[in-house]
């Protein structure tokens, strides 16, 4: 039995910040944002809701979906670049709130590719039999590290969390192949100083190339082809980057997730949030082949070929 997903959950804050709201805050326009990014609105967490709170809300729903209790979890992995504080980790805070008394806990810092890193890390523990059930969460409150006077970055980001419970699944299902990578020489193009700093042109070029190449390589590693792909869930950073990945896999538009319109870029949360959205919409069925692919600051990237089902 391989490692796969047996429960999912997501959380997004109630407050909606639209492009028209941003027009009142800075020199930008709804048309400018939509045509360049594909984003129409994003969610913003209030001051009393931090990353660990969002992670908790998503994790509770994932546990419920898996039909499990927190005490059943062996390990908690939280992908985030916006922890509540330097330490304790968000994972440790989440362990306490959930009552996951039997779980080890740690954070993963790989920016927007963090959820891919978390899933792949979890799979190694499950495949070796070291742990049976692992909670993987992607959660970020990017609004607290966004410069709301910089129209080049402020229009991109939102807050949210997504979670999956991973464990053994039936033969032939679960993670079939993966790729993780990093290029530290590109770190200067996307990083946090006081706020997020990004060289949009360079990150765009990197992302368009890497998302497509990684998706193709995980298919090759699994002995599959583009024709086998049933659905693509890319990191939601920019609609043009998402579209480039779709074209590389030669997929019709109905086979790709585009939640960026409603949520913007939620960093490590974007892929699990999208997964839950598409499951709820009935777009993913048992035994479908899903490609998940993301990139982020570091620069980092990761891709997974997964056969859906428990």
Q: Which of 53, 189, 238, 265 is catalytic?
A: 265
Distance CA 279, CA 147 (A): 34
- 265 given a catalytic annotation: yes
- 235 given a catalytic annotation: yes
Q: Which of 92, 112, 189, 238 is catalytic?
A: 112
List the catalytic residues.
Answer: 112, 235, 265
């Amino acid at each position: 039995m391989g490692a796969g997903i047996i429960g999912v959950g997501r959380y997004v804050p109630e407050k909606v910040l639209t492009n028209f709201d941003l027009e009142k805050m800075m020199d930008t326009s709804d048309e400018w944002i939509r045509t360049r990014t594909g984003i129409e609105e994003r969610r913003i967490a209030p001051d009393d809701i931090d990353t660990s709170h969002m992670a908790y809300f998503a994790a509770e729903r994932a546990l419920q979906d898996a039909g499990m209790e927190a005490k059943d979890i062996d390990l908690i992995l939280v992908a985030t670049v916006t922890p509540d504080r330097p330490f304790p980790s968000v994972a440790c805070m989440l362990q306490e709130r959930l009552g996951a008394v039997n779980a080890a806990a740690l954070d993963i810092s790989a920016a927007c590719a963090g959820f891919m890193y978390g899933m792949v890390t979890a799979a190694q523990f499950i495949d070796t039999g070291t742990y049976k059930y692992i909670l993987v969460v992607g959660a970020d409150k990017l609004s607290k590290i966004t410069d709301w006077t910089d129209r080049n970055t402020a229009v991109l980001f939102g807050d949210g969390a997504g979670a999956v419970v991973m464990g053994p699944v039936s033969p032939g299902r679960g993670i079939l192949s993966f790729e993780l990578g990093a290029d530290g020489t590109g770190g200067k193009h996307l990083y946090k100083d006081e706020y997020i700093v990004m060289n949009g042109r360079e990150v765009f070029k990197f992302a368009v190339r890497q998302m497509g190449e990684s998706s193709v390589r995980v298919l090759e590693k699994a002995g599959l082809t583009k024709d086998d792909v049933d659905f693509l869930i890319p990191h939601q950073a920019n609609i043009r980057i998402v579209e480039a990945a779709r074209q590389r896999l030669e997929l019709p538009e109905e086979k790709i997730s585009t939640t960026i319109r409603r949520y913007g870029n939620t960093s490590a949360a974007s892929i699990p949030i999208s997964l839950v959205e598409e499951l709820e919409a009935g777009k993913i069925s048992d035994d479908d082949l899903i490609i998940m692919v993301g990139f982020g600051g570091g620069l980092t990237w990761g891709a997974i070929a997964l056969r859906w089902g428990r």
